[in-house]
Structure 1
Amino acid sequence: MKFKLALGLSLIGLGYSCAVQATWDEKFWNPKPLADDVILPMPCDGAMAFRKVAIPQNKPLEDYNITLGQEGDEWGYVEQSRQEHIAGSFPDPKNKGRYYLIAKYELSDVQFRALSGECPTADMKGRLPKVNIGWMDAMAFANQYNLWLRKEKLASLPKDDGQPGFLRLPTETEWEFAARGGLAVSPSEFRDQHFPMPEGLNGYVWFAGAQSSNGKLQLTGLLKPNPLGLHDILGNAAEMMFEPFRLNKLDRLHGKAGGYVVRGGSYVTTQGDIRSALRGEEPYYSDSGENVSKTTGVRLVMVSTTLTSRDRVKEIEKEWQALGSAPKTAAQGKAPDSLQNLNAISAKVQDDGLKKELEKLRGELRANGQLRDEQRDQAIRTSLQLGAFLCTKMKDDGEFLDRLNQLYSKTCAADSQLDANCARRQEQLGQHQKALEFISSYYADTLVDMGSTYNKPLIDPQIAVVQQQMAARGKTNLNGYLDTYWMNLQGYWKDGKVARDAWLMACKKNN
């Protein structure tokens, strides 16, 4: 299959001179194409495939809380689990969230050479990951690619607030979030040693040993991808990160910044050491010059700048001022606001020293309030997902009970005992009726608890987040049940009635 890009290669201004335009066969740069791949052109009629990494937040100052690393003392000083936050770069109107792009495969040799001043002929050998490259050279490659895209194919770049994105090495947070599977996996799968591998490690990762890499670097894209569609994110070539290496100090990173970080392991990493949390350090320089390694390669990300315009800055300022002072929950009612009280006291204070102390206290209160708000939002999302799941359970159990009732009425009517097992059938009916009543009561309890604890302004924004989470995991069939839960909750707010039967019927109407 040929994938020809009309690039119009006038590269003289960037120092390129391509005497021959080589059209790359897609198998040399995207051997496992997917319908939703994002393709960026390269010189010499080449291309690079990317995958979207969705983040279920949309506002500029919103971000998504995740846990990276792993528990355990053996490598705790390097990999101890810690809380991080991630945000997307580009708006996704369809899913009402944001995303960034990460390369589908490790940077290949032919892609690297396409930006080195020659037009290489794409072949199978060119699919090998580009290794023996230093961190500075990797950044220089990203820089050259960015310059070429802006000169030749600016329209191909995704934009945020009208500003085109740019390529660079990934941060550790960007890389590990994508490596673990992002939103495409469940929370428990995300925290596992590695992303789900139904066919076993050998089907997804090149690691050390005769049963896998056999000590050799392998072509990109031969094995199966992770749930986001990323190939060789673990194993084959280790991948260098944007930021310097820091040790782990329990709940935070250490203050000393060293060499650069490499992630994912390589074809010489043992099978037992393959994990998403694996971190290593490489020096920028060796005794003889820039440090390079035959086991380390590159995977780029496409991101955007943050302060893109005056309007965006104003929007961020407005959001920042509101941090830590979100609307009260239903349970809080009209309780006094400590932050507002402190602001009123601070405004009356004349002593500069005391005023500074009050401002410091105000900042601490806002930070604690922000943490509280994030934990509250997570609790709301968890309750919404539980409500949607219980609604599916009510539908399934309710419809099954309806069928049992129909069968019982048909075969065990009072004047027509056609079935000798009618007594047993009646007992089964009673058991299933009790099971349905239990699920219906549990559903009602969670709904009433949600309605009593939180109000609409707090819950409404989290509906869209949960919908994005479900869509990313291929669970869009649950959106109807989520809508039903939300409708039932609003009905409860309106009339205060615990309408178990009506809620059951509403759940059963979903397809």
Structure 2
Amino acid sequence: MTLTLSPLRYGLVLGLLATVSPVLAAPWAGSTYNPKPDSEDVVLPMPCEGSMVFRRIEIPMAGPLDDLPITLGQDGGDWGVIEHSHPAFIAGSFADDKKGKGRYYLMAKYELTSLQYNALRGECSPPSRILNIAATGMSWFDAVTAADKYNQWLRTNAIDKLPKEDGSLGFLRLPTEVEWEFAARGGLKVNSAEFRDVHYPMDDIKNYEWFSGSQSSNGKAQVIGLLSPNPLGLYDMLGNVSEMMFTPFYLNKLNRLHGQAGGFVIRGGSFQSDQSEIRSAARKEVSYYDDATPYTSKSTGLRLVLVAPAITSKEKVKLLEKSWETLGAENPNTEKKNDDTKDTAKELSSLASGVDDAALKQKLKDLENQLRASNQKQQEERAQSIRASLNLGSFLCTKLQDDGRFLDFLNHNYELLCKDKDAGDTNCANRKSKLGEQTERLQQLTGYYASSLVDSATLYGQEGLKPEVSVFDQMLTLNKRLSGLRPFLAAHWQNQQKYLENGKIDTAGWLESCKQTTGNN
């Protein structure tokens, strides 16, 4: 006997199949949620037999109040009030028990897809290519709700999969701007110069990020994981769809953020962005509401982070209190960088002059003298450190010249002797191998020089460096064995001044400057 369904019943059956129960859903294939798997991936389950992949963002600070000072934003742009560089600090949520050092937080490897977003809303859609495109069209409130639903689902169905810190479960949320930009720049997987560049290192931007135009996204959001990742193994950080932040928008006020909190922030470019907008510092304010309804956009999505509470237990509170007591203790290596800081020695001198009690006056004068001696020692040590950095920069400039000119020599000989030779020629194969080795050696040296230049410029600034350039130049003049470094000091200082002026990481220009250095000044 054949059972025939009426059109009405047939439609009801199709409707039931369209929204499959999470219990009945088939597990997603690995290629659906992780098209580029890696051994360091951290995978968490999701509703509808799905998964989401995360990457560890490591920070080498282990103490309860230890954090890493970093510089975010970018100098030299047209939007200083929005993107100007400013100091920030970052720390991880979870202790690295296996490696025994540092802390980390977790960031989603890919942008949230439509398939994953549907799963968090209770819709178990069959996996498909179109659903593996980054999800858009949700409001900031929808994004927060999606994170909340994922948290509750994990605590109900997979609590053992959540990482813990000091016994407290981690939780998912949108990233802060600091968390996002630190990861977008490549974290500690890049050197200091690369971290401060417009974007993380890449050979051709088309191989790493989606932007507008027929040579890239062609005006459409793309499937996750098609291009190459950034140095932390994160995909589409600066393109494809813009990503919502947890923290509100603040304007920039030179070296700090302005006091007014505004709408929410979206970071990174999208498939609608021009190639020039694909940069780590790009940020935009968006109002939470568009007229009467929450704001949504077809080019804005999200990426989650997994973090932990800051205060996790009574024992943690005790450790925090102990660390707090040591903050600000006298340390000869600590520099006062706030220009608004009062001259404490002068304040003591002024205070002593207004005291009638002879014994108290003498104590204040003694304290003033001790403080002045301490300040002088710190200033001398700082000057020595600056001169040491100039010495290192000058020396590295000589090495860049040697290795750069040697690479030019190898290139010239290869073109001269092997241009028309057969590919199987043994001598030419050896020359090509040496050429590759020297190219890699020069790239490593250039990166080290750039990191040294940027670090000292950031730490000491123009006002700290300039007087010591003159002092160090005189020291080189007096030392005949070191006088040959003088022209390289001049080249290094010229490179450093250009960076201080425009904030650009011009490794090719710095290399050429050192290569062209000749004679004594």
When normalised by structure 1's length, the TM-score is: 0.62
Corresponding position of 1:190: 195
CA contact (8 A) 2:242 2:301 kept: yes
Structure 1 residue 269 and structure 2 residue 273: aligned? yes
Against the structure 1 CA distance between its residues 19 and 49, is the aligned structure 2 distance closer, same or farther, given a 3 Å change threshold? closer
Cα distance between partner residues in 2 of 1:163 and 1:57: 20
CA contact (8 A) 2:22 2:49 kept: no
Which contiguous aligned blocks of 4+ residues in structure 1 show a shift greater than 6 angstroms? none
Corresponding position of 2:182: 177
Corresponding position of 1:278: 282
Structure 1 residue 148 and structure 2 residue 149: aligned? no
- SS of residue in 2 equivalent to 1:110: helix
CA contact (8 A) 1:22 1:120 kept: no
- Correspondence 1:179-218 to 2 at 5 A: 179-198=184-203, 200-218=204-222
- Structure 2 residue ranges without an equivalent (≥5): 1-19, 335-343, 352-370, 400-521
- Structure 1 residue ranges without an equivalent (≥5): 1-15, 331-337, 346-364, 394-511
Cα distance between partner residues in 2 of 1:327 and 1:89: 28
- Correspondence 1:231-380 to 2 at 5 A: 231-325=235-329, 328=332
Shift of 1:118: 2.3
Q: Which amino acid letter does the alignment assign opposite residue 141 of structure 1?
A: A
Structure 1 residue 131 and structure 2 residue 136: aligned? yes
Corresponding position of 1:110: 115
Against the structure 1 CA distance between its residues 32 and 313, is the aligned structure 2 distance closer, same or farther, given a 3 Å change threshold? same
Against the structure 1 CA distance between its residues 326 and 221, is the aligned structure 2 distance closer, same or farther, given a 3 Å change threshold? farther
Cα distance between partner residues in 2 of 1:151 and 1:326: 49
Cα distance between partner residues in 1 of 2:79 and 2:278: 13
CA contact (8 A) 1:22 1:122 kept: no
Give deviations 1:441-487, integer Å, cap 9, x for gaps: xxxxxxxxxxxxxxxxxxxxxxxxxxxxxxxxxxxxxxxxxxxxxxx
Corresponding position of 1:414: none
When normalised by structure 2's length, the TM-score is: 0.61
Q: Which amino acid letter does the alignment assign opposite residue 80 of structure 1?
A: H
- SS of residue in 1 equivalent to 2:48: coil
Corresponding position of 1:52: 56
Corresponding position of 2:163: 158
Shift of 1:126: 1.5
Shift of 1:144: 0.4
- SS of residue in 2 equivalent to 1:34: coil
CA contact (8 A) 1:169 1:242 kept: yes
- SS of residue in 2 equivalent to 1:236: coil
Cα distance between partner residues in 1 of 2:134 and 2:24: 23
Shift of 1:326: 5.2
CA contact (8 A) 1:19 1:119 kept: no
Q: Which amino acid letter does the alignment assign opposite residue 129 of structure 1?
A: A
Cα distance between partner residues in 2 of 1:148 and 1:277: 34
Corresponding position of 1:401: none
Corresponding position of 2:25: 21
Structure 1 residue 41 and structure 2 residue 45: aligned? yes
Cα distance between partner residues in 1 of 2:268 and 2:237: 6
Q: Which amino acid letter does the alignment assign opposite residue 196 of structure 2?
A: R
Shift of 1:18: 2.8
Against the structure 1 CA distance between its residues 106 and 292, is the aligned structure 2 distance closer, same or farther, given a 3 Å change threshold? same
CA contact (8 A) 2:184 2:200 kept: yes
Cα distance between partner residues in 2 of 1:37 and 1:105: 11
Cα distance between partner residues in 2 of 1:147 and 1:211: 42
CA RMSD of aligned residues (A): 3.1
CA contact (8 A) 1:22 1:119 kept: no
Corresponding position of 2:470: none
Corresponding position of 1:70: 74
Structure 1 residue 120 and structure 2 residue 125: aligned? yes
Corresponding position of 1:487: none
Q: Percent identity?
A: 54
Shift of 1:95: 4.9
Give deviations 1:364-405, integer Å, cap 9, x for gaps: x9xxx9xx9xx99xx89x99xx8xx99xx9xxxxxxxxxxxx
Q: Which amino acid letter does the alignment assign opposite residue 22 of structure 1?
A: A
Give deviations 1:144-172, integer Å, cap 9, x for gaps: 00001011111111111111100000000
Q: Which amino acid letter does the alignment assign opposite residue 66 of structure 1?
A: I
Cα distance between partner residues in 1 of 2:148 and 2:272: 30
Corresponding position of 1:496: none
Shift of 1:17: 4.7
Cα distance between partner residues in 1 of 2:264 and 2:186: 23
Cα distance between partner residues in 2 of 1:73 and 1:24: 44
Give deviations 1:56-98, integer Å, cap 9, x for gaps: 1001100000000000251101000000000000011305000
Aligned residues: 337
Shift of 1:99: 0.2
CA contact (8 A) 1:242 1:260 kept: yes
Corresponding position of 1:481: none
**Which of 68, 87, 90 is the matching residue for 1:86?**
90
Against the structure 1 CA distance between its residues 180 and 159, is the aligned structure 2 distance closer, same or farther, given a 3 Å change threshold? same
CA contact (8 A) 2:77 2:83 kept: no
CA contact (8 A) 2:47 2:122 kept: no
Cα distance between partner residues in 2 of 1:102 and 1:181: 12
- SS of residue in 2 equivalent to 1:100: strand
Shift of 1:38: 0.4
Structure 1 residue 101 and structure 2 residue 106: aligned? yes
Cα distance between partner residues in 1 of 2:89 and 2:21: 43
Against the structure 1 CA distance between its residues 204 and 95, is the aligned structure 2 distance closer, same or farther, given a 3 Å change threshold? farther
Cα distance between partner residues in 1 of 2:309 and 2:200: 30
CA contact (8 A) 1:105 1:299 kept: yes
Cα distance between partner residues in 1 of 2:293 and 2:47: 29
